[in-house]
Chains A and B, each alone.
Chain A
Amino acid sequence: MREFMNNEAILEKLSADSGDTETGPAAAEKWTKFLIVEIGKERYGFYADQIKEIVTDEPIYYVPFVPPYIKGFINRHGEPYTAFDLSLLFEKQELDSALFLVSRHGGDQLAFQISDVTEILKVPESELHSLSSVDDGESYFSGVLSREGADIFVLNIDSVVARLERDLGEG
């Protein structure tokens, strides 16, 4: 026998199934969705709403006069997206992968080379912990998520772009 559901219950279920964060006035806390990826041996988080698509096997076009952690451009629908190798930037190890997260952020067209997408997390905002100390005065991360005993750093795209602008300015 089918469970009885009033309209409110149906709406609530639809909302939960679709992953909506708005649950009406009763919502106690904002939830945020993160894309968790592997870049080399490390795991990082991206705000899911900053990622447009995940692409693979796109040709990379060499771009001159840029730092080594810029792999080049990838072409998405005729637009050049600047492809970052974050492994080279953070770990000093070049990443060999044909998988990219494509992002349109603050007017910039960006792509981030990754090894794999591991999961999509939807967590209360309070679970994103701020970083307690920043050694060199700059942080590439908005915060850290703790999952199964491990820390996952969440990328602050603005600060990565700022690093690029700084490096290009010095070039």
Chain B
Amino acid sequence: MKAESEFHSFLVFRYPGVTFFINRNSVETSLFLEPGRQSPGFSLSKGFSTDVFFDGEHLISYDLTRFLETMGPVDKSGPEEQGRMGGVGLILPVSRFSSAHPSPLANIRGSGFEERVSETRVAVTVGRHGEAESIPFREIRLFSPSLRYPLRRRGLLGCRFPGEGECQWFLDLGWIWMNAFRKATGDTKVNDGE
């Protein structure tokens, strides 16, 4: 009988060329997004938009494809399919990835956002090829010490080798969102508590 404490629930996303998994607890809920959706009157550069609407608010959402492209050889058919089929918006409560006070989004009003955007939640959009999976902790490996912290700063926490010739990446979505947002808006506008 497997001990529950030895496993954890993750969301695993398979793109052509890269597979990654995230802690299910970092996500509040998820929404299916319509294909060809448009941002309602506002979009930021570098993968950001406000086209995810949840609980009466627009959320600042980041297209994870942008990040995956920086990771290297991602098959372009993945993002294309995401555009054609529609993706999934993962809703992340800011409090689960940032303990900064005030909220990292508290200062963004007046920095180009003309509509009501949430200060407590953000979104990350991904493809539809995701599934929940219970993964044993013993399968998840931290990187070698010399790579561990540099890669963590980029949002990569570890990896696993679930089968022959396959490496899956353990990603920190909150950190990736924050990092990308800092770059998109300029460091001074975002307080991430560092």
Contacts and interface: CB of A to CB of B under 8 A. Distances in A.
Interface residues of A, number: 24
A54 to B, nearest CB: 19
A66 interface: yes
A169 B150 contact: yes
B72 A62 contact: yes
Contact of B141 (A63, A80, A110): A80
Contacts of A80: 141, 143-144, 159, 161, 167
A171 B144 contact: no
Interface in B156-186: 156, 159-161, 165, 167
Interface of A is mostly: mixed
B142 to A, nearest CB: 9
A75 B146 contact: no
A83 to B, nearest CB: 11
A66 B113 CA distance: 35
Contacts of B144: 80-82, 107-110
B167 A61 contact: yes
B73 interface: yes
Interface residues of B, number: 20
B151 A65 contact: yes
A158 to B, nearest CB: 11
A14 interface: no
Interface in A66-124: 66, 73, 75, 78-82, 107-110
A34 B144 CA distance: 24
A75 B160 CA distance: 9
A168 B154 CA distance: 11
A165 interface: yes
17 contacts: A61-B159, A61-B167, A63-B151, A64-B72, A65-B70, A73-B159, A73-B167, A75-B167, A80-B141, A80-B143, A80-B144, A82-B143, A107-B145, A108-B146, A110-B144, A161-B146, A164-B146
Interface of B: 70-73, 139, 141, 143-147, 150-151, 154, 156, 159-161, 165, 167
